[in-house]
Chains A and B, each alone.
Chain A
Amino acid sequence: MTSTLKGITLKGSAELVAEFFSFGINSILYQRGIYPPETFTRVTQYDMSLQLTTDVKLKNYLTNVVSQLKEWLFECTVQKLVLVITCLETNEVLERWQFDIECDKSAKESSAPREKSIKTIQDEIRSVIRQITATVTFLPLLESACSFDLLVYTDKDLVVPDRWEESGPQIISQSEEVRLRSFTTSIHKVNSMVAYKKTDSV
């Protein structure tokens, strides 16, 4: 964390949000069992213990995505980040973890840092991650082998970088949605929500 001690700059805010995404995605992958639990290791972050993957390929993929996301957060061109969980057998989308990002475009590089303590931001992030862990209790079980994908909703006029391509929104048919907590760094506001496929047994 290289955010300045005296207030939040655009760069610092982008780093905080990117860091949150990195840990949040790892938590979701651990909680939903997309990867076996023995491939995760415990780390301490935001004053709580979180799970981080040790799988090399997954780590590379996440670092690629998160670093690109950090750039986009700095440019304020990203609107949403979505983690899509797909069943490999039926190719159906089963879950969608969506994070809406609202950027205060008036905060540019050179503007003065905003007054918000990092501790408050961390507390907010902690409550969001705790809530994500809690929502897992009412989500339907993922019984078949699943895989995940990260989608980024950006402005239309943004240049698509190498190794990225356009994709569909991968919306779930017949979904239930639950809105979760949000946190703000006073420059970026992140709203979280989860949508899951309704199971046939009521």
Chain B
Amino acid sequence: MDLEDDTTVFATLKSFNSFISRPDPPQRLSEQAAAGAGLQMQYKRSMELLEAAEKLHSKNQYLQLDQEKRQMELSHKRARFELEKAASDSARDFEREVDRNQELLGRIKRLEEREAESAKSQSEQVEANRALRKKLEGLTQKLEERDSTLETANQTISALKDEIRELKQKIQNQDATISTQTLENQALEEQLDLQRRKYQEVSQLCQSLQSAQSSCSEHIIKIKELERRLALQEQDVVMVRTMKSEVARVPDMDKELRRLREDNAYLRESRENSSLLKEEVEGLRRKLERMERTKEELVNMELEKEVPSVLVQHCFDCVVLKPEDLSREVIQIQQREIALKEQNYTLTSRVRTVERSQSELQGELAQQRSKALEEQKKRESQDALVRRLQKRVLLLTKERDGMRSILESYDSELAPTEYSPQLTKRLREAEDILQKTQSHHAEMEVADKSTCVYPLFRLKIEDLEAERQRLEEQNSILEMRLERHNLQGDYDPVKTQVLHFKMNPTSVAKQQRQQEVESLREEVIRLREHLRSLQDGGALVHAQDDSSMPGSNLRKQMESSELRNQRLKEVFQRKIQEFRTVCYVLTGYQIDITTENQYRLTSVYAEHMDDSLLFKKGSSGSMQLMETEFSKTLGEMVALHLHHQKSIPAFLSAVTLDLFSRQTAV
């Protein structure tokens, strides 16, 4: 309703305005016609207008009053509505109250009923009470009787209690005694426990002592065994050494042997030779004897010859037959004699030479025998020396080892335990052992030659040799390792320390590198921040002082250059656009660059949008027309202006004129 009022108000206002505005144009028209009566008319009109205005005003007021009335009605209605609401609410409340009332009345009734019931019950109980009281009275009488009896009983009870007290006291006394006794018992038990513990400890100590003693004895036995083994080993070692020395001597001995054998063989040969020679000599002597006998016989013969020579001469004189035979025989005999003499001489010379050689050989023999004897004597003496030395060495080593073992046992045993009396005992024992061994060895020295136990020693020697080789190999390996480590630069920290100059080139270089790296990192961080800020474009928001003068200058330069670039671009764009439009307008062609060196011209008067001419710029700089749909239709003009006249502007202008003529005609 309000809206309708408003619209009517606005409509009336509008009509009023239109009404006001209407008279103006008619006023203007009639102004020229009626000038004299104008004022009256104007006055009338103004009066009419005023009336109208008053009417309107009154209408407005009426409307306003109407409105107010309506509003009042509305408010009345609202108030009524609210009152109705309130009334309904109060009615509801009233109803509720009524309901409550009814409920309460109901409750009251129930309570009254209950009261009546309780009153009944109460009366019943009162009657019951009376009955009970009667009973009570009877009971009280009984109680009195019992009380009397109780009193007598109490008296007896008290007497009994006294007795009980006495008994309790006795019990307490006994308890006290019992407690004292238990305490004594506990003390005795504790003492027992202590004694038992002591006994256990003592027994443990005894056991430990026994075990220690047994272990000690075992150790002693072990030590003795080890000592024995050590001695044996050292003996073996000594034997090995002697054997080695002997073995070393063996080749020399072999050589000597060979030499002696050769000498012996030679001597034997010489002996044989000498025996042969002796035989020869004997033969020769016999021959000599024979010869002498023959000589004697010859002499005898000669003597006898002299006797018969006369006879012979006689015979010769007598017997003239055979003087030549006789002379021959004589010559033969003489020759025989000469030969025999020669033989004699040669035999005598041979005998002499043989005798000489025999004497020489005998001398040599005697020398060789003496040499052999001497060498044998030397050998024997040296063997004896060697044996004596060996035994002395053995003794010394045994002494030394005994002392060493004693010392080691001292060192090892002194710290944990302090069995000094045992140590002294051991010392004495060891000294006794030493003395015994010394005496034993002295006896052995006195005795001639010790029995050799070579095969066992040999086995031991072999084992020791193998072990020695193994140890040598290990030694060499360890030495190589040591050498390697030494080459690599290893050192014994106990004896050596490694020093270097504090300001050495490596540390200086490292520091410089570090500094460079840090400075580079800082620069990188700074540049990254700079980049980020530039990319965001918010070059104004940099709060840090890191981007100081150079950074801000650069940014400003960047901004200014960018702005300049943009402005230039805009200017160029604008200018280009202007120029192109001017060209289009003046020449009548729109020139576009399609691709490199290709230009498309579209005429202002083109009939279709696609009608265009394509020109290509050749390598020499001349423009050439390319074939297009549109250029095909201009074949005549192409031929005339381009081929014949060779002028592109003429062609273009001809095309423009042609198109223009077509356009304007159409």
Query: B487-504: contact bitstring with A at CB < 8 Å (1 yes, 0 no)?
Result: 111110111111111111
Residues of B within 8 A of A166 (CB): 497-499
**A98 pairs with B491, CB closer than 8 A:** no
Question: Is B501 touching A61 in the complex (CB atoms < 8 A)?
Answer: yes
Q: Which residue of B lies closest to A172 (CB)?
A: B488
Known: A149-B505, A151-B500, A156-B493. 16 other contacts (CB 8 A): A61-B504, A65-B501, A88-B509, A88-B513, A147-B510, A148-B505, A149-B500, A149-B504, A149-B506, A156-B494, A164-B500, A165-B499, A165-B500, A177-B488, A179-B487, A195-B487
* CB atoms of B500 and A167 under 8 A apart: yes
Chain B residue numbers with a CB within 8 Å of A98 are: 487, 489
How does the 8 Å CB contact mask read for A184-199 relative to B, with 1 for contact and 0 for none? 0000000001010000
10 contacts between A and B (CB under 8 A): A79-B496, A91-B510, A145-B509, A147-B505, A147-B506, A148-B506, A151-B499, A155-B497, A167-B500, A169-B490
**Structural contact, A163 and B498, CB atoms closer than 8 A:** no
Interface check A154, CB cutoff 8 A: yes
Of the candidates B489, B495, B509, which one forms a contact with A195 in the assembled complex, judged by CB atoms under 8 Å apart? B489
Please, which residue of chain A has its CB at the minimum distance from the CB of B484? A177
We find that the number of chain A residues with CB closer than 8 angstroms to chain B is 43
Pairwise interchain contact B497-A153, C-beta atoms closer than 8 A: yes
CA distance A96 to B494 in the complex (A): 23
Query: Which of chain B's residues have a CB closer than 8 A to the CB of A100?
Result: 486
Q: Are A58 and B498 in contact (CB under 8 A)?
A: no
Query: Are B500 and A169 neighbours in the complex by a CB distance under 8 Å?
Result: no
For the complex, what is the distance from the CA of A168 to the CA of B506, rounded to whole Å? Answer: 14
Which of A58, A64, A79, A169 is in CB contact (< 8 Å) with B501? Answer: A64
Residue from the set B486, B490, B505 with the largest chain A CB neighbour count within 10 Å: B505
A166 to B499, CA, bound (A): 4
The reply to whether the CB of B507 lies closer than 8 angstroms to some CB of chain A is: yes
The 3 closest A-B pairs by CB, nearest first: A177-B487, A147-B509, A149-B506
The 8 Å CB contact of B506, one of A64, A79, A86, is A86
Given A98-B487, A100-B486, A169-B489: A156 in contact with B495 (beta carbons within 8 A): yes
Q: Which residues from chain A contact B503 at a C-beta distance below 8 Å?
A: 61, 163
Tell which of A57, A148, A169 has the most Cβ of chain B within 10 Å.
A169
CB–CB B497/A150 < 8 A: no
Q: Are B496 and A168 in contact (CB under 8 A)?
A: no
List which B508-527 residues lie within 8 A (CB) of chain A.
508-510, 513
Q: How far is the CB of A50 from chain B (nearest CB, A)?
A: 20
- Residue from B484, B489, B504, B508 within 8 A of A96 (CB atoms): B489
For A158, what are the chain B residues with a Cβ–Cβ distance below 8 Å?
A: 497
- Measured CB to CB, the nearest residue on chain A to B504 is A149
- Give every chain A residue within 8 A of B504 (Cβ-Cβ): 61, 149-150
Chain B residue nearest in CB terms to A29: B505
Which residues of chain A are near B499, meaning CB under 8 Å? 151-152, 154, 160, 164-167
State whether the Cβ of A82 lies closer than 8 Å to any Cβ in chain B: yes
- From the candidates B494, B496, B501, B502, name the one contacting A153 in the complex (CB within 8 A): B496
State whether A82 touches B489 (Cβ < 8 A): yes
Distance to closest chain B CB from A128 (angstroms): 16
B461-500 to A contact mask, C-beta < 8 Å, 1/0: 0000000000000000000000010111111011111111
Residue of B nearest to A78 (CB): B499
Contact in complex: A151, B498 (CB < 8 Å): yes
Residues of chain B within 8 A (CB-CB) of A149 are 500, 504-507
